[in-house]
DNA sequence: GGTAAAATGGAGACTGTCTCCGAATTAATA
DNA sequence: TATTAATTCGGAGACAGTCTCCATTTTACC
């Protein structure tokens, strides 16, 4: 037990810190859903009953807050990949997962605003959930390529980008059927050219 | 000539107004290219040598400035549709035009930031250049559908949305090849299911 | 209980948006 | 050319959002 007399003993994290962090996340999820990804951070802090300083210490950048808010949802989505991969043919699995992705965006107005910021931005492509999503789509496509059902010159992430593009650019209130149709097109278009 | 004694005679527009408007557009194009679509409007005004009031009278909302800046480029793009339609088979014309679209986005960092705001936002879908772009893609797809080369259950605008999504979400510096590949996928996927 | 480490939160600096309106400029008219 | 009235200018400043600093408070551990 090196903890006993190391200089850098790990203290148990303070209870109030934990509490505040969770409250901020709750309020933020609500706020992002209501006001979009640009909701005022100071307002979120206020509604969570903390000062702005506190919010910014927990989440130095807006991105990080968004990331934290949607992390679990994204990871759940990524996890679904394995289930599909195990029970379906490659192409079907890919299609199913893409549709699930669309549904997830649709179901929760929540994720939509976050995704473009998350999946896309030039910055950190290293975040945990980010990486898991990439891994998921890559695995699906790779399996398809190996079985010969998917053309090999395909950047898996582009599929996601296309869908995100459609959804977040969504002008029409009926974007969801559009997105589902697009999935179909992407799938068909992803077959190898014979 | 009712102008002679109508109350609402149209005066010749003032020269300084015209001059300022043009200067603002020049500077804005430059600024958007450099700093993205969120460039500070007050800064643009300052650099154009006018007060913020002037800028805001000419372009009450950021959107309108963006629109004005890229109007000609977009309309040129839309116009290219006819040329393609007249000289190529439907599918080829569609492909060519989509590729031109990608190139236009790539060539000018310019257009990219504007497009998502332009093509997408819930607000006015009525702008001139906006409408022309929609018309162009619709015409291309329609022709393809009629000749049986394109499936009929396809929202033409979704193709644009997908491409815009890819480009503006563009994290990788090599997004352009991705986008070109995506065009290919979209085209293949747009064929009728036999 | 005492103490040092950790966390708080609000005042305020800063930046960007947008408006208001007195002053300046200009096109039309005489 | 001089006058006039419409039009435009442009900067001061109200407002909102972001983010930081640090004196104060809370907490875990002894």
Q: What pLDDT does residue B23 have?
A: 94
Alpha-carbon span A15 to B170, nearest angstrom: 41
Measure CA to C1' and name the residue nearest C7: A17
**Secondary structure class of A6 (helix, strand, coil):** coil
Q: What pLDDT does residue B32 have?
A: 87
Q: Answer whether A120 sits within 8 Å of B186, measured CB to CB.
A: no
The residue whose two tokens read 């934290």 is A68
Protein fold of A70-189: Tetracycline Repressor; domain 2 (1.10.357)
| Mean pLDDT for the stretch of residues A18-30 | 95
Task: List, as ranges, residues 134-163 from B with C-beta within 8 Å of A.
Answer: 153-155, 158, 161-163
**CATH (one of 3.40.50.300, 1.10.10.10, 1.10.3330.10, 1.10.10.60) for A13-60:** 1.10.10.60
Strand D protein footprint, C-beta under 7 A: A 4, 9, 11-12, 14-16, 38, 40-43, 51-53, 56, 60-62; B 11, 13-14, 16-17, 20-21, 42, 49-54, 57-58
Contact of B142 with B183, CB cutoff 8 Å:
no
A185 CB neighbours in chain B (<8 A) are 154, 185-186, 189-190
Q: In 3D, which of A140, A187, A153 has the Cα closest to residue B190?
A: A187
Interatomic CA–C1' length for residue B9 and nucleotide C27, angstroms: 12
| Mean pLDDT for the stretch of residues A53-64 | 93
**Looking at the predicted structure, is the pLDDT value of residue A75 above 90?**
no
Q: What pLDDT does residue A28 have?
A: 94
Q: Answer whether A155 sits within 8 Å of B181, measured CB to CB.
A: yes
Q: Quick one: closest CA in A to B185, which residue? A: A189
- CATH 1.10.357.10 in chain B, residue ranges: 69-189
Q: What pLDDT does residue A89 have?
A: 95
Q: Which of B162, B166, B168 sits opposite A182 (nearest CB)?
A: B162
- The per-residue pLDDT of chain A, averaged, comes to 82
Q: Quick one: closest CA in B to A164, which residue? A: B165
- CATH 1.10.10.60 in chain A, residue ranges: 13-60
Q: Answer whether B185 sits within 8 Å of A119, measured CB to CB.
A: no
Q: Answer whether B169 sits within 8 Å of A193, measured CB to CB.
A: no
Q: DSSP letter string over chain B?
A: -GGGT-TT--PPPPHHHHHHHHHHHHHHHHHHHHH-TT--HHHHHHHTTS-HHHHHHH-SSHHHHHHHHHHHHHHHHHHHHHHHHHHS-HHHHHHHHHHHHHHHHHH-TTHHHHHIIIII-SS----HHHHHHHHHHHHHHHHHHHTTSS-SS--HHHHHHHHHHHHHS--STTHHHHHHHHHHHHHHHTSPP-
A168 CB neighbours in chain B (<8 A) are 120, 165
Q: Tens place of pLDDT for every residue, chain B, 194 residues?
A: 343 334 445 677 788 899 999 999 999 998 988 887 889 999 999 999 999 999 999 999 888 898 888 888 888 889 999 999 999 999 999 999 999 988 887 766 545 555 554 444 444 444 667 788 889 999 999 999 999 999 998 888 888 888 877 776 555 566 778 788 889 999 999 888 76
Domain B69-189: state its class: mainly alpha
Mutate to test the interface with A, among B98, B165, B170, B187 (most CBs of A within 10 A): B165
Query: Given phi > 0 = left and psi -120 to 50 = alpha, else beta, which region is B168?
Result: alpha
Residues of chain A with pLDDT > 90, as a percent, come to: 42
Interatomic CA–C1' length for residue A61 and nucleotide C10, angstroms: 20
Q: What pLDDT does residue A149 have?
A: 93
Q: For residue B178, which phi and psi values (nearest 5 degrees)?
A: -55, -50
């Amino acid at each position: 037990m090196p903890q006993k007399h190391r200089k850098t003993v790990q203290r148990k994290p303070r209870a109030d810190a934990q509490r505040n962090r969770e409250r901020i996340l709750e309020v933020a999820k609500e706020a992002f859903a209501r006001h979009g990804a640009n909701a005022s951070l100071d307002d979120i802090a206020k509604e969570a009953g903390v000062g702005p300083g506190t919010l910014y210490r927990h989440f130095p950048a807006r991105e990080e807050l968004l990331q934290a808010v949607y992390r679990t949802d994204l990871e759940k989505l990524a996890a679904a990949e394995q289930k599909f991969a195990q029970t379906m043919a490659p192409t079907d699995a890919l299609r199913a997962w893409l549709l699930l992705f669309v549904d997830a965006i649709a179901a929760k107005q929540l994720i939509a605003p976050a995704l473009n910021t998350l999946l896309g931005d030039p910055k950190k492509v290293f975040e945990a959930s980010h990486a898991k999503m990439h891994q998921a789509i890559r695995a699906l496509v790779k399996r398809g390529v190996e079985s010969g059902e998917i053309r090999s010159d395909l950047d898996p992430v582009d599929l996601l980008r296309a869908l995100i593009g459609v959804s977040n650019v969504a002008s029409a209130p009926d974007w969801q059927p559009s997105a589902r149709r697009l999935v179909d097109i992407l799938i068909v278009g992803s077959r190898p050219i014979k």
